[in-house]
Amino acid sequence: MNKFYLGGLLSLLFLFACPVYALEEGTLFLTPTHGDDGTAWGQKQCDGCHLINRIHQQRGRSIQTIVRRKSYESCAGCHGSNGTDLKKLCLLCHNGQDLPISPTMTGTENHNFTVGQVNGLSDEQCISCHKSSNMNGQFELNIDLTAFPNASERDEEYVRITDFCLRCHNLDHQQAGFEILNKNFRDPLIAMEKNYNFLDMHGYPKGSGQRTYFGLVPNYRYASVVECTDCHAMHGTHNPKLIIDSASKGATQLADPTNYSVKVINGDYSQLCVLCHRMQNPVEDARLDTGNGLSGVHLTGADEDCRQCHTHGRAVQVGL
């Protein structure tokens, strides 16, 4: 047997042993091997070869039903552009009618990457944060969030959602295309990495639960950390600075499932704080309703500006 023949036999075996993968490893995106010998790469008409009633048989009904309803316009949103200029649409499905709580987008404020600009999120902005979601109904940090490199330019996995935020909200290793320019070094937009790791009450774990106003609701504990997204909503809220406008948009560890509302009036953040903080030995305003049915923080009311003492990056006694 000559060696060329052997080589041919081996590669034939190899072909049978390995299925042809048209999807990028770990994602739903099509690659240049799509279709027999890649002949389907670069084609826009998915309906030419795939019957919508035949696909997705192995997946739960959730995507099967919605894909049938949205038809071929939806394909690129999950499988990528297939080497064409097909647009990846997200809002086609992720909107108040079709998937109203996945995510909840009510409210005029959202993380549209520009402070002070009020407009709805665009498909491109969804993709900035969710480059290659697998849309399996489960939120997985290292699949569903875009992998931004860390300070050493490496794709280190996220351990918590906050790691994702801090890959951009820092002083000296911001992401290309998302630079945050011309800010004072104390502005939380760029100071949050330092704040969170060294100064903030909700970052570096340091609380003792021994102070005058102590008291946390079940599932939140002293000497633990709180995620940015427990207080800030990415997809939509009525409050400034992306503060959640209802418990359901953040405060993920709450044992009480009641959906309390949160309204920030001037600098009065008491409706936010009281979701987690309930004073055990009530003093000062601790018995006053903050306005959402809950009481238990030492100050509340439209004439109280918490920011005098509680802001990000404050090193002394109080802070945030």
Interactions with ligand HEC, residue window 203-242 (CB under 6 A): 205-209, 211-214, 216, 220-224, 226, 228-232, 234-235, 241-242
Spatial distance between the Cα atoms of 89 and 79, rounded to a whole number of angstroms: 11
Based on the shown chain and the rule CB under 6 A, indicate whether residue 22 belongs to the binding site for ligand HEC. yes
Say which residue the tokens 């997705």 belong to.
56
How far from 98 is each of 60, 95, 123, 126, 265, CA to CA, in Å?
Answer: 17, 6, 16, 16, 32
Based on the shown chain and the rule CB under 6 A, indicate whether residue 198 belongs to the binding site for ligand HEC. no
Spatial distance between the Cα atoms of 312 and 294, rounded to a whole number of angstroms: 24
Instruction: Report angle CA 47, 53, 55 to the nearest 5 degrees.
Output: 80
Task: Report the candidate in 50, 104, 118, 108 with the shortest Cα–Cα distance to residue 78.
Answer: 50
Which tokens go with 132? Answer: 């290659």
How far from 184 is each of 26, 116, 135, 180, 203, CA to CA, in Å?
Answer: 40, 17, 39, 11, 21
Task: Tell which one of 88, 170, 260, 313 touches ligand HEC (CB under 6 A).
Answer: 88
Task: Tell which one of 201, 246, 260, 313 touches ligand HEC (CB under 6 A).
Answer: 201
Based on the shown chain and the rule CB under 6 A, indicate whether residue 199 belongs to the binding site for ligand HEC. no
Window 53-72: residues binding ligand HEC (CB under 6 A): 55-56, 58-59, 62-63, 66-67, 70, 72
How many residues touch ligand HEC (CB under 6 A)? 131
Question: Which residue in the shown chain puts its C-beta closest to ligand HEC?
Answer: 207
Based on the shown chain and the rule CB under 6 A, indicate whether residue 245 belongs to the binding site for ligand HEC. no
Provide, rounded to whole angstroms, the least separation between the CB of residue 101 and ligand HEC. 6
Task: Tell me which amino acid residue 289 is.
Answer: D
Instruction: Report angle CA 154, 159, 162 to the nearest 5 degrees.
Output: 90
Based on the shown chain and the rule CB under 6 A, indicate whether residue 278 belongs to the binding site for ligand HEC. no
Based on the shown chain and the rule CB under 6 A, indicate whether residue 295 belongs to the binding site for ligand HEC. no
103: preceding bond cis by omega (within 30 degrees): yes
Provide, rounded to whole angstroms, the least separation between the CB of residue 106 and ligand HEC. 12
Window 91-110: residues binding ligand HEC (CB under 6 A): 91-94, 99, 102-103
Candidate ranges 6-14, 50-58, 152-160; the one touching ligand HEC (CB under 6 A)? 50-58
Provide, rounded to whole angstroms, the least separation between the CB of residue 13 and ligand HEC. 20
Based on the shown chain and the rule CB under 6 A, indicate whether residue 34 belongs to the binding site for ligand HEC. yes
Q: Which is nearer to ligand HEC, 28 or 171 (CB)?
A: 28
Window 120-139: residues binding ligand HEC (CB under 6 A): 121, 125-130, 133-139
Task: Report the candidate in 287, 243, 232, 237 with the shortest Cα–Cα distance to residue 267.
Answer: 243
Based on the shown chain and the rule CB under 6 A, indicate whether residue 262 belongs to the binding site for ligand HEC. no
Q: Which is nearer to ligand HEC, 7 or 26 (CB)?
A: 26
Provide, rounded to whole angstroms, the least separation between the CB of residue 222 and ligand HEC. 4
Based on the shown chain and the rule CB under 6 A, indicate whether residue 41 belongs to the binding site for ligand HEC. no
Task: Report the candidate in 236, 225, 313, 218 with the shortest Cα–Cα distance to residue 275.
Answer: 218
Based on the shown chain and the rule CB under 6 A, indicate whether residue 78 belongs to the binding site for ligand HEC. yes
Window 160-179: residues binding ligand HEC (CB under 6 A): 161-162, 164-169, 175, 178
Which tokens go with 184? Answer: 């004072």
How far from 187 is each of 13, 46, 184, CA to CA, in Å?
Answer: 61, 48, 5
* Cβ 188 vs Cβ 207: under 8 Å: no
Q: Which is nearer to ligand HEC, 6 or 315 (CB)?
A: 315
